[in-house]
Amino acid sequence: MKVLINYLDCLREGLLKQIRPSKYNAERSIEKARKMLKEAKENFKNKCYGSAVIMAYLSMLNAAKAVLWKDGFKERSHICVARYLEEKYVKRKKLDMSFISLFERFRHLRHEEQYELSYFATETDAKEILIYAPKFIKEMERLIKQ
């Protein structure tokens, strides 16, 4: 599979699909994000740093997906979630690019933790994502309320 780098590629490849907008699903996705963040914090307290990183990233992903639900899109690719937010919110000055940069950074970190045999998330990794994930969720909540 080729690497998709832009919004139009995501649409062409069917990794972003237009659906009926759903405020209900957007709210449920935010609720799930909050629950996952809570689990990430518990994992951190128990020194399960890899699990904390994965759950904190998934909390960010679910918060971002809430925006897509609100707008009437469904994703089949984490990368395409970022491309959607760039296209529809960053380019229109409704979201600062720093949120996309953080999402991408933690997406890579989660990928390393989950799939690379030689990588193990550190306490520092987990602490950092737990600082930014709540801010990201709050920003996605702001976007779904617009």
Q: Torsions phi, psi of 17, nearest 5?
A: -125, 135
Distance of CA 113 to the CA centre of its chain: 16
pLDDT at residue 1 in the model = 41
CA angle 99, 140, 74 (to 5 degrees): 100
Q: Does position 2 have pLDDT exceeding 70, yes or no? A: no
Q: Given 3.40.50.300, 1.10.10.10, 1.10.3720.10, 1.20.120.330, which CATH number is that of 7-145? A: 1.20.120.330
pLDDT at residue 4 in the model = 53
Q: Does position 100 have pLDDT exceeding 90, yes or no? A: yes
pTM: 0.94
| 35-74 pLDDT per residue, tens | 999 999 999 999 999 999 999 999 999 999 999 999 999 9
Domain spans, the chain: 7-145
Tell me which residue of 57, 142, 46, 58 sits closest to 102, measured CA to CA: 57
